Amino acid sequence: MLKNKHIILGITGGIAAYKSAMLLRLLVKAGAEVQVVMTPSAKEFITPVTLSALSGKPVVSEFFSANTGEWHSHVDLGLWADAMVIAPATACTLAKMATGVADNMLVTTYLSAKAPVFVAPAMDLDMMAHPTTTRNLQTLQRDGVAIIEAEAGELASHLVGKGRMAEPETIVAALESYFAKSEQWAGKDVLITAGPTYERIDPVRFIGNFSTGKMGYALAEEAAKRGANVMLVSGPVSLKAKHPNITVVSVESAREMHDACVQAWPAADLAIMCAAVADYAPAEYHHKKIKREGHEVPVIELVKNPDIAAALGQSKREDQVLVGFALETDNEQANALDKMRRKGLDFIALNSLKDADAGFGVDTNRVTLFAADGTSTELPFGTKAEVASSILNHINL
């Protein structure tokens, strides 16, 4: 997986920098081309000579070469890389990355990097547990940086706790799994629905629901990050898609969402139906606002909306994968399995409205994924981005 991959290995000033030499060795052995970028303080812990000998390239640390005056271009480096991994990442560098303090070659390279960035934090347990570090890691995660969690054990201070840099083998495994995933997803066409639909009653009123679109947008970002071309058919939400591989098709009603999906489906490799589609729409649209004074209480007659997932299920080819969601309040598993069968889905992700930390509006989710082959997996509880990643990990394209 790492053969001929261009990897920037960022090294910062922490005791764990001695392990970076081993990490570099493993990356080179796996066939990667590695460019080391060190912060000035990292040189207090490991010498550039060791690292340039192991990587076969001069180490970059300053903006200019002291001997020749040659400028080291962080922009070129950022474009060259297929991945950047910063190991160890100290509390100081994490803070600079989170806030854009670009006062060294490593942070400027991070800000210029187009490829995915991984950090392997390493620090003393109290620094690791400090709210500032937690906040900075959360910010970086939101910015799309992958955190390779620090491990618990004896630290340089001889205290015992969480703060040891992940072992070099673990870091290599994280990179390998990223490249394996992106090879599977690169260039695939993925259709995702998200958010609620609004069914107009009159110019000022509609029938809708509480969906905010967070789960669908998280799935779109994750699929795009893996290299897929994503068409995100979105009902009215206040979210913005970030990744350039995502094309948003904004719709309002279930009918519009249906039409956009049916048109896109033949060219798609995968569709994930995450929208909370209104089951019914008013039979008649009132072109003028329905007035209260001097009128009877109106009765709004409803008609059934098309079932988008079922429509795609009916025309699904062997080479396509179709995933649905079920949000249930009771008889959860039986209802979800029934929906999967009725709509011709390959997978159904069940979330329960019984959990306060899952469902509409919140940033976390709790999902059980059922597959048409009869297997089921309770996915680890996490942010919607983490749950999106777990769901995609179960799909083979």
Residues annotated catalytic, as ranges = 209
288 closest CA partner among 158, 356, 200: 200
Q: Which is nearer to ligand CTP, 39 or 305 (CB)?
A: 305
Under the criterion CB under 6 A, does residue 23 sit at the interface with ligand CTP?
no
Q: At its nearest, how many Å lie between ligand CTP and the CB of residue 360?
A: 12
- Of residues 343 through 372, those in contact with ligand CTP by CB under 6 A are 343
The stretch among 129-137, 156-164, 274-282, 361-369 that binds ligand CTP (CB under 6 A) is 274-282
Q: Round to whole Å and give the CA distance between 202 and 58.
A: 68
Q: Which of 2, 107, 273, 395 binds ligand CTP (CB under 6 A)?
A: 273
CA distances from 277 to 200, 327, 350 (A): 14, 11, 16
259/279 with CB nearer ligand CTP: 279
Cα separation values, 223 from 79, 137, 153, 251, Å: 21, 22, 35, 21
Contact 200, 284 (CB under 8 A): no
DSSP-derived letter for residue 151 is E
* Closer of 48 and 208 to ligand CTP (Cβ): 208
Residue 275 in contact with ligand CTP, rule: CB under 6 A:
yes
* Partners of 234 in the β-ladder: 194, 250
Binder among 324, 366, 385, 392 for ligand CTP (CB under 6 A)? 324
CB of 268 to ligand CTP, least distance (A): 14
Q: Which of 226, 339, 366, 384 binds ligand CTP (CB under 6 A)?
A: 339
H or E element that contains 246? strand 246-250
Stretch that binds ligand CTP, among 145-153, 156-164, 302-310, 354-362 (CB under 6 A): 302-310
**Nearest-CA neighbor of 214 among 91, 386, 339, 379?**
386
Are 17 and 84 spatial neighbours (Cβ–Cβ below 8 Å)? no
* 36 in contact with ligand CTP (CB under 6 A): no
| Spatial contact of 209 and 196, defined as CB atoms under 8 Å apart | yes
Q: Interface residues with ligand CTP (CB under 6 A)?
A: 193, 254, 273, 275, 277, 279, 305, 307-309, 324-327, 339, 343
